[in-house]
Every structure is written in C-alpha cells, then in structure tokens.
Amino acid sequence: MAETGFLTRHRFGDLLAVLADAGYRVVGPVQLDGAIVYTDLHSAADLPAGVMVETAPGTVRTSATQLPRLFAWANGPQALKPLLFGPEETLWRVRRADDGALTFSAASAEVQPHAVIGVRACDLAALCLQDQHFLHGAYRDQHYAARRAQLLLVAVNCTHPAATCFCAATGDGPQAQDGFDLLLDELDEGFIVSSGSERGRELFADLPLLPARADQMRKVASASHKARAMQTRAIPAGDLYDPLMARREHPRWSEVAERCLSCGNCTQVCPTCFCSREQDQAQLDGLASTHVRQWDSCFSEGHSYIHGLVVRGEPRYRYRQWLTHKLGGWHRQYGRSGCVGCGRCIAWCPVGIDICAEVNALLGGDHDS
Amino acid sequence: MTPERGIPLQAEVLERVDESPGIFTLSLRLVEDREHHAYRFEPGQFNMLYLYGVGEIAISIVGDPQHPELLQHTIRNVGRVTHGFAKLGAGDRIGIRGPFGRGWPLAAAQGRDVLVITGGLGCAPVVPVINHVLHRRAEHGKVAILQGVKHSDDLIWRERYEKWDAEPFTQVLLAADVSGPEWRGYRGRVTGLMQQLDIDFANSVTMMCGPEPMMVAAAGQLLERGVNPDSVWLSMERNMQCAVGHCGHCQFGEKFICRDGPVFPFSEIRALFGARGI
C-alpha cells in the first residue's frame, strides 16, 4: 500500500537534502541552453521554476513564467538513458608489453548511487524496455546493471504534456503506474508525495510531510485527466511488424527519405534506442589501448557496413529500419512496442519528421492524429 | 546467473597461411593453458577477433570440432582490422572473445543426406560441420558439397576438397563463373550444379553460406524439389560489434543475427530473405 503525504513547496529542498544525505548523487531537470537537461542538482533553486516548454515538430522553445511550478513541462532531450546506458563507456583496457604480450583488463563502471528527480511515465516505460534489453536477455550488460542497481527514482506525473506527446495512446502515461520509488503530483502550493517501493517508504520518515487533503487529491485527479485529454497524437496500437513489412516497398519510405537528413537525432533522443558502436582508442605511445562503446544510430552509414558493402545505403532503408524496429521488431524481441510516446523524435528532428504522421500515412491514414 | 559479454582472451598466432591473394588463415592458440584446454565451439559459431589498438571483428570458426583447442579463422583482407591481421605471423598476439551464436543443426542432420552449398568465402563456416559429419560417417547419409567462386583462381582449399571427394558416398562439385584454362569444374553459378546432385532431397538437410543472392537462388531451387524449408539452414552475416545481441547492428527484421543465429532455418527468415536494405 502506497503511503501518501503533502510536501509544501518551500520545503521541496528537504527532499533533495534527504537524498543527498542518504548518499545519493541527486540528478534532475535544469534549464540549460534553451532546453530541459538532467544534471546534478545542488539545491531546489536549480530546478526550472516557472519554465514552460513549447514543442512542435522540429521545434523546442523554453519560456520563463511567474508560475511557481517546477515541472510544468513534458520532457527534455534526455532523461534516464544516459545515466544507465552511457553515451560513451569504456569496456576494457589492454596493455602491450615489449614482447607483444597483451594484458586485458575489464573496465568496471564507477558507480555512485543516483537519485533522479522528475522522471516521467514515458521515461519509466522506456527504462523497463532498456532493462529487458540490457539485463534480461541472453546476456547481461554489467555496466548497465551496476548503475541500475544503484538508482532511486522520484517520478512526477505530467500535467503539461507537449504538443508532441502521445503517451496516452501508447498506454505509458501521463501518469506513472509503477517502477518508481517516490511519485510526485505537483500542485501550485506543493507536492503530493506517494511511495512506490520499500526504499521510498523509508524516505517518508525523513520528509516534513503533512497529510494530503481530499481537495488536493481531487485536483491531482483532475490534472491527470486533463493531461490525458490534451494529447491529440496517436499511433496505431499493437504489433505493426507485419503491416509495416508488408509495405516495405511503399513509396512513403522514399518520400520521408527525401526529408530525412540521416542525422540520427531521433535515435539519440529516443529513450529506448539501444544501438552502440565500438572502437579502440590507442595511446600515442603504443603501450596501451582502450576499447570504448559509444551510442550509434541506425541512420549512420557505418551501422550496416559489412566487408565493403553498406546494406542500408539509402536513407529510405535506414528510416524503414528504425520505424519497423521501433513499432514492430520490439514486439517480437521484447513483447511490446519500442515507442513510449514521449514525442522526442518529433520535437528534436531538425526537419520535423513526425513518427505518428509517417506511420499513419504508411498504414492508410486510419489513425490520423 | 546470466552471462556477460566478457573481455578478450590473449591468443598467439601459430601460423598464417595465405590461401589466395586476398584470403589467409590464422591458426591460433589461447595463451593461458587453462583457457586453451577449456575452449569448445560448435560448428557454425563465430569468434570476435581483436587486433591490438584497432578493433574487433566477427569471424566464423574454421577447424575441426574434434580439436577445438586449435583455433582457425579464414579471413578476407578487406578492412582496417583484416589488413592488420594479414600482416601477422607466428608469435604475434591478438585477442579472442567467443564462441558466440547458434551453429549448424547437427542433430537434425543425423541419419539424413547432408547437402552443403557455399559461395566464395562462405566455404569457411561450413568446414567444422563437414569435419563433424565425416568424422561420424556412419551416422549420416550421403554428403554433397557444392562450392562456387567468381573466378577459378579464387578457389581455396583444393586439397581439402579433393580429400573430401575421396570419402565414401561424398560428392564434391565445384563451380566458377569465370574460369581459367586449368579449370576442370563446372562453369557457371553454383546453383547450376543442382542437377548433378545424387541425394535424397526429401530426406536431406542443407547447410548454406555465401552471398545472399546465391542463397536465395539455391533455397528457391531446393523448395522446388520439395525440400522442407525447415530442413534448409543458412548462415547469415551482418555488422556485428558486441556479439551478444546488445549493439543492434546485426538486426535482420526481428532477429539479432549474432545471438539468434548466425545459422537459421530458412523458415525463420524467409519472409525478408533477399529483400533489399534489410
């Protein structure tokens, strides 16, 4: 049974202090370079009070208001993914002796417990998918596993979905259902705090919580209802592998490829995309080398390279790979869609390609947003 | 406990044999005795071979499963890592991670005729399974080995094919699209050899590796002859970097080739097989 209490706005810093005192590196949203970025929080003043974010296909603009709210925006380009699946990760180091002998040593992730403030329902759904990929398959990724085991999540229910959001259609939001330690519902005067795990319950004792009032709970329910109703985009539900693959020579793939820059922004901001490439970084003195993994994108030419041949040389094949995998392949691989409806790929695409519009065009327009 | 991908083990090059102007074989031995003796592989699996300071590539294991500790890899000199491997000699050190992936269907081949169809360097991943089958000759029916090359000068392992051809109930047929004056084999595509086969298609298992258009054509011919698509197995290739289904490069539709394959029954991949850009 979840415990619930009310945290007044001016005591929100207590939550950060409690987490810091418990040994967590506290990470959360700040306004930086015209976007919401998740980074270290030193005090509640770092949080984006009054910031609103307007998004549209190919557009993200922040604006300052006098509103007291800290979470009156939907998301930024990244949230949890970089904290677990590192954009760059050293996998091993190797030293070469004078006689040519090689000594390999594993690079273990330096892990400090992280508490992340302001995790959204879409981020939690994406985390679940990344867990399946990196932890629950035939092989486990030890770097991801080490960080995942030390993660504390303070979720917040969305009250201000972006125009690009469609988590209601994918079933992943706007309310967080599970997978968090604490959950916040923001009201003008403060926060309803609910526990979602044993660790979350333990933190309750250290927070200056008041009983949550019935009128506050009614406001929370109403805000949640509104957040759902505000969303207008949708993609068809279910496993789209067969219908999309049946249309694999559809002219729409070429049409979208005319607009697509193959820049890979969509894959970098996608909270479920998991591709990585590996490369060696040899020391200049030749005595040692570091084997590194970096995020990759199926939009890059090298992604499908084999012995002198690029399998997906044309952008239409790359967009097709991304979309058929996201909305089809994931179902076969992990039992659900790889899309959690966060809309980041739409907002951060420099030419505003809209996954909802593309899939609806491919599948016949029955689900136009 | 779920396994992790691991880091490379140190291996020593025992010998490099140049098979043709662009193809060479590295014979390797894991340096640590314990690792050397413990190493096992299944025919059709692959290793990740690491060149110091440059990177890793996926290469199928050539060799004899009876002697798993002798690691052999036949490699085409085509990229950054293989250019480096092509210069190695006895005593040089590299890294090995593996083996990875699903190999050839050894159990399904028992008691049946075995048809091996390969093209170009696709001849490499089938060597262990041919060794396996010929080592257990009585447990299998007839064996037919078809290898096609673009030019007759590209054919490697002539002696190996002659040795196999001399085995009882074993047919070796070689094809070259373009051939020099010495060529005694067939002129044309490897699929043109199908009429010469003396096997029981209805009770056969086929193992294929080579360029996808070749495998598409061969699979089509086999199905026309009434072969069950579950009895046709082929080894697939895509970019592989992690070898454990994480890096995403080797996806072929819903499959991760490194983890779900590289060997697949035709029935599992036929929906997209031969389609462009998959």
Q: What is the CATH number of the domain that holds B66?
A: 2.40.30.10
Rg (CA), chain B: 18
Q: What is the mean pLDDT of residues A326-339?
A: 97
Share of chain B above pLDDT 90, in %: 95
A137 and B5 in contact by Cβ < 8 A? no
Strand partners, B216: none
Q: What is the pLDDT of residues A101-115, one digit of tens each?
A: 999 999 987 789 999
B91/B70 Cα distance (integer angstroms): 15
Of A137, A275, A333, the CB nearest to B249: A275
Domain end residue (candidates: A229, A263, A287): A229
The pLDDT-based confidence of B211 (bands split at 50, 70, 90) is very high
The pLDDT of residue B208 is above 80: yes
Point out the least confidently predicted range of A88-92, A241-245, A361-365, B94-98: A361-365
Q: In terms of domains, do A125 and A221 share one?
A: yes
Residue B197 in tokens: 């086969």
Q: Is the pLDDT of residue A267 over 90?
A: yes
A144 plus A124 within the same structural domain: yes
Same domain membership, residue B263 and residue B173: yes
CA distances from A184 to A6, A10, A117, A230 (A): 9, 15, 9, 20
Q: Residues of A with CB below 8 A from B55's CB?
A: 278-280, 291
B190, part of any domain: yes
DSSP for A263-326 reads --HHHHH-SS---EEEEEEE-TTSSEEEEEEEE--TTSGGGGEETTEETT-SHHHHHHHHHHII
Average pLDDT, stretch B4-20? 96
Number of structural domains (chain B) is: 2
Tell me: do B91 and B201 sit in the same domain.
no
Residues B71 and B196 both lie in one domain: no
CA–CA distance, A107 with B209 (Å, rounded to integer): 36
Cα separation, B14 vs A279, whole angstroms: 26
Extract the tokens encoding A164: 């690009």
Residue A27 has pLDDT above 60, yes or no: yes
Same domain as B119, residue B80: no
Query: Residue A365's pLDDT band (boundaries 50, 70, 90)?
Result: low
Q: Is the pLDDT of residue A368 over 50?
A: no
Q: CB pairs under 8 A, 24+ apart, for A43-46?
A: A43/A13, A43/A16, A44/A12, A44/A13, A44/A16, A44/A70, A45/A13
Say if B29 is an interface residue toward chain A (CB within 8 Å).
no
Q: Are residues B169 and B253 in the same domain?
A: yes
A301 and A219 in a common domain: no
pLDDT at A308: 82
Q: Is A102 domain-assigned? A: no
The arithmetic mean of pLDDT across residues B237-256, rounded, is 97
| Listed residue (B116, B108, B103, B105) closest to B43, CA to CA | B103
Decide if B70 is inside a domain.
Answer: yes
In a domain, B93, yes or no: yes
Q: Which are the contacts of B138, defined by CB distance < 8 A and separation ≥ 6?
A: none
A79 shares its domain with A146: yes
Distance from CA of B245 to the nearest CA of A (A): 8
- Which chain A residues contact residue B245 at CB under 8 A? 137-139
What is the pLDDT of chain B when averaged over all its residues? 95
The enclosing domain of B196 has a CATH number of 3.40.50.80
Q: A211 and A80, same structural domain? A: yes
- Give helix A315-324 / helix A355-362 axis angle, nearest 10°: 90
A82 and A142: one domain? yes
Is B213 an 8 Å CB contact of chain A? no
Nearest chain A residue to B95, by CA: A102
Confidence of residue A142 (pLDDT cuts 50, 70, 90): very high
Q: Does the distance separating the beta carbons of A133 and B2 come in below 8 Å? A: no
* Residue B168 amino acid letter: P
Q: How far is B5 from chain A (nearest CA, A)?
A: 7
Say if A285 falls within a structural domain: no
Chain centroid to CA A155: 13
* For residue B70, pLDDT beyond 90: no
Same domain for B112 and B247? yes
Reduced to 3 states, what is the DSSP secondary structure of residue B108? helix
H-run or E-run covering B57:
strand B55-60
Model confidence at B28, in pLDDT bands (50, 70, 90)? very high
The reported pLDDT for the residue numbered A2 is 72
With CA atoms as reference, report the closest residue to A341 among A261, A276, A247, A272. Answer: A272
Among B100, B122, B148, identify where a domain stops.
B100
Number of A/B CB contacts below 8 angstroms equals 141
- pLDDT at res. A317: 98
What range defines the domain where residue B48 resides?
A: 9-100
Nearest to B79 among A105, A141, A307 (CB): A307
B190 shares a domain with B242: yes
B4 contacts on A by Cβ (under 8 Å)? 139-142
In a domain, B4, yes or no: no
- Residues of chain A contacting residue B271, judged by C-beta atoms under 8 Å apart: 245
pLDDT value of position B64: 87
B119 located within any domain: yes
Same domain for A41 and A14, yes or no, is yes
Query: Are B110 and B247 members of one domain?
Result: yes
Whether residue A357 has pLDDT greater than 90: yes
Residue A129: inside a domain:
yes
Helices of type H across chain B: 33-38, 80-85, 106-109, 127-135, 158-165, 212-224, 257-260, 266-269
Indicate yes or no: CB of A133 within 8 angstroms of CB of B246: yes
Confirm if A107 and A289 have CB atoms less than 8 A apart: no
Whether residue B276 is contained in a domain is answered as no
Q: Are residues A177 and A266 in the same domain?
A: no
**What pLDDT digit, counting tens, does each position of B46-68 carry?**
999 999 999 999 999 998 888 88
Are A27 and A81 contained in the same domain?
A: yes
Q: How high is the pLDDT of residue B65?
A: 87
B92 contact A CB<8A:
yes
ipTM of this predicted complex? 0.93
Give Cβ neighbours of residue A225 (< 8 Å, ≥ 6 apart). Answer: none
A218 and A265 inside one domain: no
Residues B81 and B110 in one domain: no
> For residue B194, what are the contacts with CB-CB under 8 A and spacing of at least 6?
B146, B218, B221, B222, B225
What is the 3-class SS of B5-43, one letter each residue? CCCCEEEEEEEEEEEECCEEEEEEEECCHHHHHHCCCCC
Residues 6+ apart with CB under 8 A from A16: A26, A28, A41, A43, A44, A117
Please provide the average confidence, as pLDDT, over all residues in chain A: 95
Are B111 and B241 in a shared domain?
Answer: yes
Hey, what are A339's tokens?
């899309």
Q: Which residue, among A85, A242, A270, A280, would best test binding to B if mutated, counting the most B CBs under 10 Å from its CB?
A: A280
| Nearest chain A residue to B51, by CA | A280
Distance CA A296, CA A309 (A): 18
Contact with chain A for residue B76, Cβ under 8 A: yes
Number of domains into which chain A is organized: 2
Digit-coded pLDDT (tens) for B128-187: 999 999 999 999 999 999 999 999 999 999 999 999 999 999 999 999 999 999 899 999
* HSE-CB for A360 with a 13 A CA cutoff: 13
Among A100, A277, A302, whose Cβ lies nearest the Cβ of B93? A100
Residue A251 and residue A198 share a domain: no
CA dihedral A144, A147, A149, A150 (to 10 degrees): -170
Whole-number pLDDT of residue A1: 57
Domain assignment of residue B117, yes or no: yes
Q: What is the band of A369 on the pLDDT scale with cuts at 50, 70, 90?
A: very low
Residues A144 and A17 in one domain: yes
Same domain, B89 and B128: no
What's the domain range around A313?
Answer: 241-277+296-362
Does B248 contact A298 at a Cβ distance shorter than 8 Å? Answer: yes
Q: What is the dihedral of CA B147, B152, B153, B159, to 10 degrees?
A: 50
Distance from A166 to chain B by nearest Cα, in Å? 25
CB B74 within 8 A of CB B24: yes
The mean per-residue pLDDT over the stretch B14-36 comes to 96
- Whether the pLDDT of residue B241 is over 70: the answer is yes
Q: Which of B184, B188, B43 lies closest to B114, judged by CA?
A: B43
Q: Which of B8, B245, B249 sits opposite A138 (nearest CB)?
A: B245
What pLDDT sits at residue B83? 97
Summarised one tens digit per residue, pLDDT across range A282-297 is: 999 999 999 999 999 9
Residue B59 lies in a domain: yes
Domain final residue, candidates B70, B100, B130:
B100
Q: Is the pLDDT of residue A196 over 90?
A: yes
Looking at the fold, whether B55 and B19 belong to one and the same domain comes out as yes
